Chain A
Amino acid sequence: MTTVDCASRSVREINEAIRRLVKDGASEILVANPGARHNLAVAVLTDVAITIDGPVGYYAGGMSDGARLTIRGSAGWGVAEGMLSGTVVVEGNAGNGAAASIRGGTVVVRGDAAARAGIAMKGGLLVIGGDTGYMTGFMMQRGRIIVCGNAEPALADSMYEGTIFVGGEIAELGNDTVVSDATPGERAEIRTALSRYGVKGPDAFRKIVSGRKLWNYDKKDLDVWKAAF
């Protein structure tokens, strides 16, 4: 395994060093002393295993396509934002907007996720081992979110499409959502997904999908809009 030491390097220099190693054919890279800095290991477009040995700041692993990133610590806002494929595993907790707008790949948060996890997801899978914050799955468009713990209020608010599974308590559902119990088939799929990443979850899950009432403008809503403006 080759190592990139973040100490006394700028973020730009760190990311350039990672990219150079990837170009030279490295299959495993250790990023040491990350010091919770922002934008680490972003836009890596190759299948390569990168381990960041500590907490990271904002947007770690963002815009990546194929990389397998492990963060040995917690992550700040927007971890894996805009990812196309690959995996990002956060060993600790994640800040606001984890897996925001991902199009594919898998993001695993072993601890808790904060507000708006999975906001505007356009594909892929987000697994949260612990609890998840306010407005998780807000305006989600495709993909799946599996929450093993509890969900704070406004869960799945205004989601277009996609599916959210919650194993714990749901404090309050967001606008235009439909909730049901996960079917035995779906529970088996969840078990498979969780066991792949060694995440423990409950047996039963609730399933949340879009009510699709906000998809189209309804004339009956005119008064609501008038009042709002």
Chain B
Amino acid sequence: MCGIVGFFDKSGGPAPVGASALAMLSTLGCRGPDSAGIALWGQEADGLVVRVKLGEGMDVAARRREIARRASRLGRARVSASGDSLLRLEIAKADPAELAAAIEDVAPDVEVVSMGRRLEIVKQVGAPQSLDRDFGIGKLLGSHALGHTRLSTESRVDLSHSQPFWAHGVPDLAVVHNGHITNYHQLRRRYEQEGARFYTENDSEIIGVYLARKLHAGASLAEALRDSVSELDGSFSYLAATADQFGFARDPFCLKPLIVAETDGAVAVANEEIALAAAVPKGYRAREVGAGAVGLWQRSGTAPGARPRRRGKAA
């Protein structure tokens, strides 16, 4: 199964989207008890906000220090929060690809789980409620957020295999997916031959890689979503967002549920209406989207043509 939720505040924020996403996600815990995560687009940082998985190493404190030291070589860096699993780093004016490479070089199981001017992802094994306890995600303000609860069907249960997935190489682009991408192995082989790196064995990871490649090739997010409906195979309802855009796509056979409620103030999307009811005041009209449908909303005050800045090498 898996549960996916998305909440987009039409005012452009700052709005309590962390609380909205958390409330929605908590209702879908039963769709996926294995892990939970939230991606949230908050206040724009001066440089980049980076969340790093510290990995399984014996000395987590030493890894933290080493990551901070390497990041500081590339720009003014500050570790602003850190638990046992994820470290949050702010850095001014660094090249994203260079920064990710420097951090991930610390150890094989160190991974940048999100990077962006506005995006941050928190995720871990366990139920949605613990995201608030461990990361205070319910208090974060922003313009939009995505959430995921995972029922693992074919790859391992750990932080890296949890969603949301940041699309490595494209700051601020993240995805949550419910379903199964059946041409995953075929696409992955092709993309790896062309130099893409995969961090997990989770078929959902391919969506972020797919979208990142489309954007790097010059497509808009709207075009990429539309193309994905025929170029990805299998069952999928997925949500994708950048710093300024929030969208969904659904497979042509409607194999996975996707319900949308749009009001004057917000858009809420989820697998089940119980999640919409948790975030949208009464009086909304829920509808299940059609076969192969895509949807896209633009953040208030930004231009539709705005694309993630191309910096560094393509993933």
Contact = CB atoms under 8 A, between A and B. Distances in A.
B276 to A, nearest CB: 7
Interface in A107-121: 111-112, 114-116
A35 B277 contact: yes
A167 interface: no
Contacts of B277: 35-36, 54-55
B273 A57 contact: yes
Given A74-B273, A96-B254, A133-B254, A152 B290 contact: yes
A77 interface: yes
A38 B30 CA distance: 12
Interface in B242-297: 252-254, 257, 259, 272-274, 276-277, 282, 285-288, 290-291
B291 A74 contact: no
A112 B259 CA distance: 13
Contacts of A115: 253-254, 288, 290-291
B250 to A, nearest CB: 10
Nearest to A77: B257
A226 B288 CA distance: 37
Given A77-B257, A95-B257, A95-B259, A114 B288 contact: yes
- Secondary structure at the A interface, as helix, strand, loop or mixed, is loop
Contacts of B288: 93-96, 114-115, 133
Interface centre among B257, B282, B288 (most CB of A within 10 A): B288
Contact of B291 (A35, A38, A153): A153
Contacts of B276: 36
A35 B274 CA distance: 6
A93 B290 contact: no
Interface residues of A, number: 28
Contacts of A134: 252-254, 290-291
Listed residue (A96, A111, A114) with the most chain B CB atoms within 10 angstroms of its CB: A114
Contacts of A58: 272
A37 interface: yes
Given A95-B259, A114-B254, A134-B254, A36 B290 contact: no
Contacts of A105: none
A34 B273 CA distance: 11
A123 interface: no
B257 A76 contact: yes
Nearest to B276: A36
Nearest to B30: A38
Contacts of A57: 272-274
A76 B272 CA distance: 7
B257 A93 contact: no
A153 B285 CA distance: 24
Contacts of B254: 96, 114-116, 133-135
A92 interface: yes
Most chain A CB within a 10 A radius of its CB, from B282, B285, B286: B286
Nearest to A34: B277
B291 A55 contact: no
B272 A36 contact: yes
B285 to A, nearest CB: 6
A55 B257 contact: no
A5 B246 CA distance: 36
Nearest to A55: B273
Contact of B274 (A37, A114, A152): A37
B262 to A, nearest CB: 13
A110 B267 CA distance: 23
Interface string A43-84: 000000000001111100000000000000110110000000
B228 to A, nearest CB: 18
Contacts of B253: 115, 134-135
B274 A36 contact: yes
A74 B285 contact: yes
Contacts of B282: 54
A99 to B, nearest CB: 15
Nearest to B274: A36
B273 to A, nearest CB: 4
B291 A93 contact: no
A26 B187 CA distance: 59
B291 A92 contact: no
Nearest to A37: B274
Interface in B94-114: none
B291 A36 contact: no
B199 to A, nearest CB: 33
Contacts of A55: 273, 277, 286
Contacts of A93: 285-288
B290 A133 contact: yes
Contacts of B257: 76-77, 95-96
Nearest to A76: B273
**In the complex, the 10 A-B pairs of residues with the closest C-beta atoms, listed nearest first:** A115-B254, A114-B288, A134-B291, A36-B273, A36-B274, A74-B286, A95-B288, A36-B277, A93-B287, A55-B273
Interface of B: 252-254, 257, 259, 272-274, 276-277, 282, 285-288, 290-291
9 contacts: A36-B277, A56-B273, A76-B259, A93-B285, A111-B285, A133-B290, A133-B291, A134-B253, A152-B291
